[in-house]
Structure 1
């Protein structure tokens, strides 16, 4: 006699499971040979952490990851970062921890942080504190990966914000799917789909009131700008911005790879291992020969290589102006305490051979 029919899998849940499984490289259906192999060898299953706020996106991600954990190939835990910026935030974190333990995640930790970074806005300071807490937890727990619940809507908002700032290719590529230990498997899912997953799994997510607070720029983009664009230009704006981000990410990856090759080919590093006492020299002639897209990236790599920050487009243009050999030979202040100047030509260099000059990047004392 046959038992009752198995409940039909919600298509969105199946889509989400495949997205997470594909990115992690684990199976979502069928018996796992790896499980039997690990059981016989005593090999520990890798730990995957979910960064979970209790909101729909991260709670849906936790539910999907918990399913994959039950398949036996991975262990799944979670970290809840409490920013302590709202009343009762600890109670929300505790309630979220209870939900996560109830669906099988272990370990589940709450990390309380304060946003103390000086010189940034509240959103950037909170993000810095959040990633510092996640980095610490992952290192301490020896986690292989941390999953983040960003969705297609988050990606569309990031691209739109990049356009508003006049950013370059890398910024317009939006949120990367992979960066270090962080993976974002839901970038192809809509925010409405994460709500659907929570409903299908019988989970009640917490709704962060700051997501609708107009004091935050991203909230205004989410609640005002994107809906306005949908009304005026027609539906599908978020998907179009997401598609643009995927295309630009491929372009940015290629250009960054080519720039790294050129930087290692052209740069001369002088001094000790300490960034404060090193300098980087690059031939002006070689820099002029590069396309602008590569030349500016090579200049930026020299700055970052000395411990500086990614320069703005305007600062890179100022550094490029030194190559024209008109006006000042520098120094040009870049970012993070790094400056660049044009190296004077030695007497032994013929005056008509200006290509022998070099740009010199140096960390300021």
Structure 2
């Protein structure tokens, strides 16, 4: 087992950047582009509005403003923050395409696409007409960005406004319950060794030419999948129940204590699978799910995670942190930064009152 140092180096966001880019928003996804550039997806938090009525319901997701927030951490250079604000987008998920260009790709649940990087920035054509259901997640396999969607939808990004859809041969009845059939997530060891999963135990394998249904031993609602550096596949669903295997051979991962929430993300980093939800961070070690031994400021950053180029990034409701070369670095704690902004007169504790726009 690798030894992870708990050395803490502050690289906190400045109060100026925090008040300008993050106050009033909550992080809903994160992605590592490379060791010097990371991205966050954030959504307007309507519960912070001054005229928020707890029993008044919630606005439509597309009515809430979203932000794509970037952090550049070039060694020896000042940190550089940036953001773009989006409106009219439903729930967003982020991925990285390395081929044909290294770019951030953001997709909405309904198929809207936003890109940034390598000289391009802005919205692309919507792909709703190609989806059998919703766009649920992205995965990068050998540099190419793959889409997983409900209705057993799988696509590959080939270039600007260009996608190759490889799920046409997958059987799917439009009358079939989208909660029964996949896909919520996919991952692969190569472009000819891909696993896609979702629905109630709906797992498939793609060899680069054909799809094959996998004999999975459970009908649990699947949420996420990870192809590990140990050559095995990890599939997790409701309440953190996780299986490990390959092909048609699977076994259940043991757990120390019950987990009440499904994992939002799983990723292989160093020598193990990391798992996260809003309640914490876990490792899978020796086929057992155990609470990760990490600093408190990293634990409060639980929610989403991403690993690439030697960096493991955590981002959630209360903050963000990352691990690199055995050292943890805190990016920010939401509550701490709000207090600092108030103390410096950058935030008076009053957010724009917009709830009245959504009430009858």
State whether TM-score is above 0.5. no
TM-score by length of 1: 0.25
Which has more strand, going by share of residues? 2
Q: Which has the larger radius of gyration?
A: 1
Which has more helix, going by share of residues? 1
| Higher RCO (C-alpha under 8 Å, 6+ residues apart) | 2
TM-score by length of 2: 0.25
